[in-house]
Amino acid sequence: MTGQAILHAYRHLYRKALRATHRSSPAKHVIRETIRTAFRTEPAYNFSLQRVKNTEDFLKRAENEAGMEHRILKNLLHVRYWQHHGKRDNRLMNQQTGMASQIRKENWAQYDATLTMFNDSLHLCLR
């Protein structure tokens, strides 16, 4: 994809995700940070036009009705919200032993693997 196509993909995904969540306050911030980091860290050759199109269609279906797509998006945003806010809470980290922090890392690895398989099965680019 060219630079202009990547910019358009970023804008379209951001707008459709905001519409799908009805611009709710915590969700719009999580969407902004997630899309921003994805487009900043991934190289241009990793973006597929078909995956972006499928993701736009997924977000449109999540916007139009409160079905399975809407619930999946809501849960993804909820998990990302607490994933980032859990890192900021130092009380939780200070109370954890080495075993507890290892379990948390393994849980996030399993979550990321599940999300990767979901994306591969539907040819999406959700994070």
- Confidence (pTM): 0.84
d(CA 35, CA 58): 15
Residue 111: which residues within 8 A CB-CB, separation 6 or more? 79
- 50 part of a folded domain: yes
pLDDT tens across the length of the chain (127 residues): 788 999 999 999 999 999 999 999 999 999 999 999 999 998 888 889 999 999 999 999 999 999 999 999 999 999 999 888 766 555 655 666 777 777 777 888 899 999 999 999 999 999 8
Structural domain including 18 reads 3-122
- 93 part of a folded domain: yes
Residue in 78, 101, 95, 26 with CA at minimum distance from that of residue 109: 101
- 67 part of a folded domain: yes
d(CA 103, CA 95): 14
- 33 part of a folded domain: yes
Instruction: Quote the number of domains for the chain.
Output: 1
Residue 101: which residues within 8 A CB-CB, separation 6 or more? 93
